[in-house]
């Protein structure tokens, strides 16, 4: 097993085609999904030489996760569709690999059990909790409190989903309910919360920055705002007290005409002007992709589907392999670029051809 593509192929063989398509698919014509990968494919790394590329250090400080690896697990829903151990396997693997796990509100295991599984492997493991601001503020507060009680060290608030993206593959399969025995465990006992299926998670097009302020005032946890593409929104997130933003188009699952995340990263990083870190996800599959994203202004990257492919193909072991290979590949790429630490990945190393 060598690359993310190999893992995807194994997962495709292991999964019911309905669930493979749920994980793999995007919104509309899937043009944003493709754009994420194409943006990486357009870039090359321009290496430096004779700079002494050892010893190397891949550590980065993120909200609630000091000295962590720059590769995070992005939140994805319903891991038990991929493997019977679901998010428990993902949590153990992320902890073993030393990567921050972002567990989703739409998980098939409660955040308390997910966090306990991660800490069973590494008592210091950092787990973040992703949520959507709920139409009923008391429900949002309850989710945030449960995450804090479970020992999560940051909240990731996803803001790119005032309405759901239209996923053609799910429509074609008629997939809108979880199979019997699976539920959205963080939501099932909350007022207005549904055990749910893929289209059942409550959100509201009426939410605004005021709702983010409310949550910020009601939690001690740092907030990462996920789903930022416009530099103006990055600036607003910083002004509203976010600890970081995640540049994300939801893996091409929301606005189909959205740009590739890598293409908007420089403008977002400029707008933030180092006040808070920019993270990025979407299309990260190789160590070189991570290096390109970091050199373009990201403090860290998230991976969504690769984790699901590892999970579907080989459970905890598969997820751990995906994450460890990605980190090892980043380390190798850093050495080949003549770098020793992440700060050595500077913007001048990224090119679309020769030196600019």
Ligand X SMILES: Cc1cc2nc3c(=O)[nH]c(=O)nc-3n(C[C@H](O)[C@H](O)[C@H](O)COP(=O)(O)O)c2cc1C
CB of 123 to ligand X, least distance (A): 26
Binding flags for ligand X, 79-118, as an x/- string (CB under 6 A): -------------------------x-x------------
Binding-site member from 4, 60, 71, 77 for ligand X (CB under 6 A): 77
Give the nearer residue to ligand X in terms of CB position, either 235 or 250.
250
Q: Report phi then psi at 120, rounded to 5.
A: -65, -30
CB of 348 to ligand X, least distance (A): 26
Q: Per CB under 6 A, which region of 56-64, 113-121, 167-175, 298-306 contacts ligand X?
A: 298-306
CB of 74 to ligand X, least distance (A): 4
CB of 54 to ligand X, least distance (A): 30
Q: Per CB under 6 A, which region of 46-54, 176-184, 204-212, 277-285 contacts ligand X?
A: 277-285
Tokens representing residue 319 in the block: 């997820």
The reply to whether 304 sits near ligand X by the rule CB under 6 A is yes
Binding-site member from 32, 95, 223, 284 for ligand X (CB under 6 A): 284
135, with CB counted inside 10 A (0-12, 13-18, 19+), is middle
Query: Between β-strands 71-73 and 300-303, what pairing exists: parallel, antiparallel or unpaired?
Result: parallel
CB of 50 to ligand X, least distance (A): 35
Number of residues that bind ligand X (CB under 6 A): 23
Q: Report phi then psi at 72, rounded to 5.
A: -110, 160
Give the nearer residue to ligand X in terms of CB position, either 146 or 339.
146
The reply to whether 326 sits near ligand X by the rule CB under 6 A is no
Binders of ligand X in range 57-76 (CB under 6 A): 74-76
The reply to whether 193 sits near ligand X by the rule CB under 6 A is no
Binders of ligand X in range 157-186 (CB under 6 A): 158
Residue nearest to ligand X (CB): 304
What SS3 string covers the chain?
Answer: CCCHHHHHHHHHHHCCHHHHHHHHCCCCCCHHHHHHHHHHHHCEECCCCCCCCCCCECCEEECCEEEECCEEECCCCCHHHCCCCHHHHHHHHHHHHCCCEEEECCCCCCHHHHHHHHHHHCCCCCEEEEECCCCCHHHHHHHHHHHHHHCCCEEEEECCCCCCCCCHHHHHHCCCCCCCCCCCCCCCCCCCCCCCCCCCCCCCCCCCHHHHHHHHHHCCCCEEEEEECCHHHHHHHHHCCCCEEEECCHHHCCCCCCCCHHHHHHHHHHHHCCCCCEEEECCCCCHHHHHHHHHCCCCEEEECHHHHHHHHHHHHHHHHHHHHHHHHHHHHHHHHCCCCEHHHCCHHHEECCCCC
Tokens representing residue 172 in the block: 């074609």
Binders of ligand X in range 9-28 (CB under 6 A): 22-23
CB of 189 to ligand X, least distance (A): 19
Tokens representing residue 193 in the block: 């919360």
CA separation, residue 8 to residues 3, 113, 168, 308, 338 (Å): 9, 27, 20, 9, 31
Give the nearer residue to ligand X in terms of CB position, either 211 or 281.
281
The reply to whether 303 sits near ligand X by the rule CB under 6 A is yes
Binders of ligand X in range 222-261 (CB under 6 A): 226, 248, 250-251, 253
The reply to whether 297 sits near ligand X by the rule CB under 6 A is no
CB of 217 to ligand X, least distance (A): 22
Among 79, 83, 167, 250, which one carries the catalytic annotation? 250
Give the nearer residue to ligand X in terms of CB position, either 79 or 92.
79
Give the nearer residue to ligand X in terms of CB position, either 147 or 339.
147
The reply to whether 173 belongs to the active site is no
The reply to whether 325 sits near ligand X by the rule CB under 6 A is no
Q: Which residues are catalytic?
A: 250
Binding site for ligand X (CB under 6 A): 22-23, 36, 74-77, 104, 106, 130, 158, 226, 248, 250-251, 253, 281-284, 303-305
């Amino acid at each position: 097993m060598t690359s993310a593509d190999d893992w995807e192929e194994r997962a495709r063989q292991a999964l019911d085609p309905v669930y493979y398509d749920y994980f793999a698919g995007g919104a509309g014509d899937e043009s944003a999904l493709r754009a994420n990968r194409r943006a990486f494919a357009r870039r090359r790394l321009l290496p430096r030489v004779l700079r002494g590329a050892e010893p190397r250090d891949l550590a980065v400080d993120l909200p609630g996760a000091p000295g962590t690896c720059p590769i995070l697990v992005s939140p994805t829903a319903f891991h038990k569709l991929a493997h019977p151990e679901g998010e428990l396997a993902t949590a153990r693997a992320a902890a073993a690999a030393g990567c921050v796990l972002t567990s989703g509100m739409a998980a098939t295991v409660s955040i308390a059990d997910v966090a306990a599984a991660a800490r069973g492997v590494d008592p210091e493991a950092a787990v973040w909790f992703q949520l959507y601001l709920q139409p009923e503020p008391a429900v949002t507060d309850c989710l945030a409190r449960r995450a804090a009680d479970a020992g999560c060290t940051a909240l990731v608030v996803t803001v790119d989903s005032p309405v759901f993206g239209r996923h053609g593959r799910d429509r074609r399969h008629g997939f809108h309910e979880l199979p019997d025995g699976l539920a959205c465990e963080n939501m099932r006992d909350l007022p207005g919360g549904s055990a749910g299926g893929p289209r059942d998670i409550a959100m509201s097009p009426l939410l605004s920055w005021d709702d983010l302020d409310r949550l910020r005032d009601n939690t001690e946890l740092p907030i990462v705002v996920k789903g930022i593409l416009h530099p103006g929104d990055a600036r607003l997130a910083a002004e509203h007290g976010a600890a970081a933003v995640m540049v994300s188009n939801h893996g091409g699952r929301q606005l189909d005409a959205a740009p590739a995340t890598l293409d908007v990263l420089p403008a977002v990083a400029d707008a933030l002007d180092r006040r808070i870190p920019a993270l990025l996800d979407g299309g990260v599959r190789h160590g070189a992709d991570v290096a390109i994203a970091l050199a373009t202004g990201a403090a860290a990257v998230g991976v969504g589907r690769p984790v699901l492919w590892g999970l579907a193909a080989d459970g905890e072991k598969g997820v751990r392999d995906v994450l460890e290979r990605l980190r090892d590949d980043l380390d190798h790429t850093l050495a080949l670029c003549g770098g020793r630490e992440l700060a050595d990945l500077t913007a001048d190393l990224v090119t679309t051809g020769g030196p600019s």
